[in-house]
Structure 1
């Protein structure tokens, strides 16, 4: 069984979902520290001026876990994010297809960042017909940190392969994985080199939230991946 593990992100980019699709089980790593200025509470969309960050404000304390990170709802972030998406993507080909689902994200009363991200990820997976089961590390028993935690999570679900980004080469204890009988499969992030985008004067940008591809291309999103990626 091939397992992928990643922190829950806000409006993740495309490689996040292609990695989920390639795995047999995906573990949301919500039991580790929240990273300030990471992608757990923000991501980029395209505006007429170029890439633009959408950031969910959070109440942060040193050493707090993602699962314990609370959203700061004193700021009117939900209205701002929804208005920005409507302004930037209202004319996109598939906007009306996904509008109701997206509006539900911002109509909801969210206090937990992890819960918000989990809902968004599950919704976007449904749009993409990605059916990989999901577990949360906070609901599992595995302990440890860094490479040890990843390996223990794999062992808890009896994984035979761990699907990692190439950045894993910097911290994974490959010998420990080998001795435990878990093969590490490194997967580089692959992005489309072209697809129809709004705001052409801002140039083509491919490192945005997967929302950009989905809202512009709808069900045909996978046809814009390199050919070797389309059957994954």
Structure 2
């Protein structure tokens, strides 16, 4: 199965549960940007409860008229410092924060111009952390609707031909901050830094910092 999805900022745990079932990941690169989605925000759990971290974009009022893959990050705001300090405060005492912190911090310090590039660098890192060597490609053209199998005209040049006619699961905008964990998928609870109750729908960073190399076991 090939999973079709938009590119998220520190995706929800649920997204990685879907990736475990996939043979390839097709990222939507031709869509227009949509506000108030996981494209530029994630949810983490702090001592004060669930908190969003949002990456500001240039000319936010007109952002929905720009392709997601061409949208620039607004570095005039000191958002990197805020995000990093919040992650440190929320997860600094978690079992595996220090194990992954330098890798994440290095990507922040690279300051990619485009939101798409920032998200892609984090995604590639997370795929390595979860040991998911999935073939990854980008859409060459926007299609509002896809058939149940990947057709030749929709097969990106970077995808292996053996994925032709592979079942395609369109998960674009399946996950949103208002619907962080659809009823079609229930994840196994894992120990979180701030309890006592379990909070679903958080960024996969929450699981990774808590469980480290064993995180994949909670996606099954």
- Sort the TM-score into its range (normalised by shorter chain): 0.7 to 0.9
Q: How big is the shift at 1:153?
A: 9.3
Structure 1 residues without counterparts, runs of 5 or longer? 169-186
Q: Quote the Cα distance in structure 1 between the aligned partners of 2:25 and 2:3.
A: 5
TM-superposed CA distance for 1:224, in Å, is: 2.7
Structure of greater Rg:
1
Look up the match of 1:188: 184
Are 1:159 and 2:165 matched, yes or no? yes
Q: CA RMSD in A?
A: 2.2
| Contact kept? 2:4, 2:171, Cα under 8 Å | no
Q: CA deviation at 1:167?
A: 7.9
2:130 equivalent to 1:128 = yes
In the alignment, the residues of structure 1 paired with residue 69 and residue 45 of structure 2 have an alpha-carbon distance, to the nearest angstrom, of 29
The alpha-carbon distance between structure 1 residues 37 and 166, as it changes in their structure 2 partners (threshold 3 A), is closer
Secondary structure in 2 matching 1:22: coil
Aligned length in residues: 199
1:87 counterpart residue number:
89
Return the match for 1:216 from 205, 210, 213.
Answer: 210
User: Could you tell me which residue of structure 2 aligns to residue 146 of structure 1?
Assistant: 144
* Equivalent in the alignment of 2:112: 110
Q: Which protein is richer in strand relative to its size?
A: 1
- Cα deviation for residue 20 of structure 1 reads 2.3
Within 1, Cα distance between the matches of 2:8 and 2:173? 17
SS in 2 for 1:159: coil
The gaps in structure 2 that reach 5 residues or longer are 156-163, 175-182
SS at match of 1:58: coil
- 1:50 paired to 2:49: yes
Query: Deviations for 1:4-25, whole angstroms, at most 9, x for unmatched residues?
Result: 1100000001121222232211
Give the equivalent residue in structure 1 for 2:3. Answer: 4
CA contact (8 A) 1:25 1:132 kept: yes
Q: 1:3 to 1:73 in 2, by over 3 A?
A: same
Q: Partner of 1:217: helix, strand, or coil? A: helix
In the alignment, the residues of structure 2 paired with residue 101 and residue 196 of structure 1 have an alpha-carbon distance, to the nearest angstrom, of 23
Contact 1:68 1:112 in 2 (8 A): yes
- Whether 2:34 is the aligned partner of 1:35: answer yes
User: CA offsets per residue over residues 142-167 of structure 1, 9 Å max, x none?
Assistant: 44x311xx349921322320124598
Q: CA deviation at 1:51?
A: 0.5
Higher percent of residues as helix? 1
* Per-residue CA distance 1:35-85 (angstroms, 9 max, x = gap): 111110001001001110000000232421101111011001111111110
Structure 1 distance, partners of 2:41, 2:6, is 13
Report the alpha carbon displacement of residue 104 of structure 1 after superposing the two structures with TM: 1.1
Indicate the residue corresponding to 1:21 in structure 2. 20
Cα distance in 1 for partners of 2:185, 2:127 equals 18
